[in-house]
Amino acid sequence: MEKSSFTLVFGESPFVKVLDFFLTFEDFDYPLSFIAKETETKWETVGKVVELLIKRGLIKKTRKLGKSWLYGLNKESMLTKLLIDIDIKVSDFYINEELKRQKIGFVKQANNMR
C-alpha cells in the first residue's frame, strides 16, 4: 500500500497503517493475512491491532470464511464516522497543497517562456 495522506499526518505505526487500510477499503471485509500483506505488517501484529480496533468499536468481525474471520469497518460507529471525515479533510488539504504547488510551478514556467 502506498503512503496515504492519513499516514503522512499520523505516521506509519502498525496501528495507523491498519486503521488507514480499513478507512481506505471501507466497503469490503478482509482476513488478517490480506491486511498483513497490504500493510506490510506482521500477521501477529495485525491481529493485535485488529483486537484494539474492535474494542474501540472502529471495526468488527463480519463473517467466517473457511477457518478465517473477516473484518470490516464499523460504519455505524460515531468514532468511525469522525475518522472518515478527518481522513477526507486531510486528503483535501494535501490535494489543495499539491494544486497550489503545481500552479506556482506552472506560473514560473510560463513567466520563463516570455
CA pair distance 35, 43, nearest whole angstrom:
8
| CA-based nearest residue to 48, from 62, 32, 61, 63 | 32
Q: pLDDT category, 107, cuts 50, 70, 90?
A: low
CA atoms within 13 A on the CB side of 77: 18
Q: How far apart are CA 17 and CA 99, in angstroms?
A: 26
* Domain 5-113, CATH: 1.10.10.10
For residues 46 and 49, give the distance between their C-alpha atoms in angstroms, rounded to a whole number: 5
The pLDDT score that the predictor gives to residue 100 is: 85
Q: How far apart are CA 98 and CA 64, in angstroms?
A: 42
Q: Which three cell numbers stand for residue 12?
A: 506509519
Q: Which residue has the cell 514560473?
A: 108
Per-domain residue ranges of the chain: 5-113
Interval 13-22: pLDDT, tens: 999 999 999 9
Predicted confidence (pLDDT) per residue in 27-51, tens digit: 999 999 999 999 999 999 999 999 9
